[in-house]
Structure 1
Amino acid sequence: MRLPDPIQTYFEAQSPQNKDTLAAAFTPDAVVRDEGNIHRGPDDIRRWWREAKQKYRHHAEPLDVAEAAGKTVVRARVSGDFPGSPAILSFTFRLAGDRIAELEIG
C-alpha cells in the first residue's frame, strides 16, 4: 500500500526519537482531533504524540487507504496498552501540499 509521504512519516515515527520528524510532517497551523481533544500547531502536536506514545505504548499498522471528499482515510490496527487492544481505528487526514493540515482519529 502506498501512502502519501507525510502520512507514511506519521505511521513510521517512533517515540521519542522521531518526535521532531513527526511534527515537521504537519503544517504550522495543523489541527489534530483525538480522544475528544484538539491539538494545534507542531509544538502541541509533538507533545500530544509523545504523551500518547508514553501512555499507551501503541503501534498503528495501516490496513487500507481510501480517498473521500479531499481527505485520505487510513484504517489501521492499533495495538498497545489500552482496553480493547487491538482496535481498528480510522485516521482521516487532510493534506496541504506535502504536509498534514488536519488529522482526526476515531
Structure 2
Amino acid sequence: MSLDLPPPIAAYVAANARLDADGMLIPFAADAVVFDERERRVGKAQILAWIQSATIASRAVFTPVAWRQEKGVIVVEGPTTGDFPGSPIPFTFRFTLENRAISALEVG
C-alpha cells in the first residue's frame, strides 16, 4: 500500500525498510534535530549515531499505515517491528520539513 508520503519522508521510510543507515540519514538537513526517548540529537553525526543504535542495532523497521498534517508537522503512524522486547510496537513519527529536507523528527 502506498501512502504517497512527502519525498523526504518516503526516502527515510524506504531506507529504513532496507536497514540502510546512510540512506536514512540522507533526507535530513545538516542541522536537523531528532527527539527520541527524551534525548535530543542535533546534526548529521549525532543523528547517524542515533540511527545506528536505535534502528540498525535492533533491526527496527517502521511501517507507516497512516499520515496527516497538523500545524505544519507531518504525523506518520504505524508499527515498528524488530529484535526488541514488545515488538511490534505502535509508533508516531512527527516530521518537520524545510527546503525539501527533514529539519526535525520527534519519535513517540
Question: Common fold, TM-score beyond 0.5?
Answer: yes
Matching residue of 1:10: 12
Contact 1:23 1:43 in 2 (8 A): no
1:31-50 correspondence to structure 2 within 5 Å? 31-50=33-52
Aligned residue for 2:35, secondary structure, equals strand
1:22 positional shift: 2.3
Matching residue of 1:104: 106
Q: TM-score, normalised by structure 2?
A: 0.88
1:44 positional shift: 1.0
The more displaced of 78-87 and 20-29 is 20-29
Aligned residue for 1:101, secondary structure, equals strand
1:15-94 correspondence to structure 2 within 5 Å? 15=19, 18-94=20-96
Q: Distance in 2 between matches of 1:54 and 1:27?
A: 20
Q: TM-score, normalised by structure 1?
A: 0.90
- Unaligned 5+ segments in structure 1 are none
Identical-residue share of aligned pairs (%): 36
Residue identity in the other structure for 2:39:
N
**Structure 1 vs Structure 2 CA RMSD:** 1.3
1:56 positional shift: 1.6
Q: Distance in 1 between matches of 2:5 and 2:38?
A: 26
Contact 2:21 2:56 in 1 (8 A): no
Matching residue of 2:97: 95
Runs of 4+ in 1 over 4 A off after TM superposition: none
